[in-house]
Amino acid sequence: MKTNLQPHIRIGNGHEVQYALLPGDPGRVDEVAKFLDQPKELAYNREYKTIKGFYKGIPVLVTSTGIGGVSAGIAIEELRNVGVKVMIRIGSCGALQPHLHLGDLVIASGAVRNDGASYSYINKAFPAIPDPELLFHVMNAAKKNDAKNYTGIVRCHDSFYTDKEQDIDKYWSEKGILGSDMETAALFVIGGLRGIRTASILNVVVEKEGNLEGGINDYIDEKNNSKRGEELEILTALEAIVSYDSTI
Phi, psi of 133 (to 5 degrees): -70, -45
Phi, psi of 70 (to 5 degrees): -65, -55
The pLDDT value recorded for residue 244 is 98
Is the per-residue pLDDT at 78 higher than 50? yes
Cα(30)–Cα(176) distance, rounded to whole angstroms? Answer: 34
Q: Please, are residues 169 and 93 in contact by the beta-carbon 8 Å criterion? A: no
Which is it for the CA torsion 131, 134, 138, 139, positive or negative? positive
pTM value is 0.94
pLDDT tens per residue, range 161-204 = 999 999 999 999 999 999 999 999 999 999 999 999 999 999 99
The pLDDT value recorded for residue 1 is 43
Task: Show the CA angle centred on residue 67, arms to residues 72 and 109, nearest 5°.
Answer: 60
Cα(185)–Cα(114) distance, rounded to whole angstroms? Answer: 8
Is the per-residue pLDDT at 9 higher than 60? yes
Is the per-residue pLDDT at 212 higher than 80? no
The mean per-residue pLDDT over the stretch 232-242 comes to 98
The pLDDT value recorded for residue 21 is 99
Residue 47: C-alpha distances to residues 27, 68, 89 (Å):
10, 11, 15
In the structure, what pLDDT confidence band is assigned to residue 209 with cuts at 50, 70 and 90?
confident
The pLDDT value recorded for residue 6 is 98
The pLDDT value recorded for residue 218 is 64
- What percent of the chain clears pLDDT 70, i.e. is strictly above it? 93
Is the per-residue pLDDT at 20 higher than 90? yes
Q: Facing residues of 95 across strands?
A: 179
The mean per-residue pLDDT over the stretch 100-114 comes to 97
The pLDDT value recorded for residue 248 is 87
Query: What are the residues whose beta carbons fall under 8 Å from the beta carbon of 76, sequence distance 6 or more?
Result: 22, 65, 87, 186, 187, 190, 191, 194, 196
Is the per-residue pLDDT at 119 higher than 80? yes
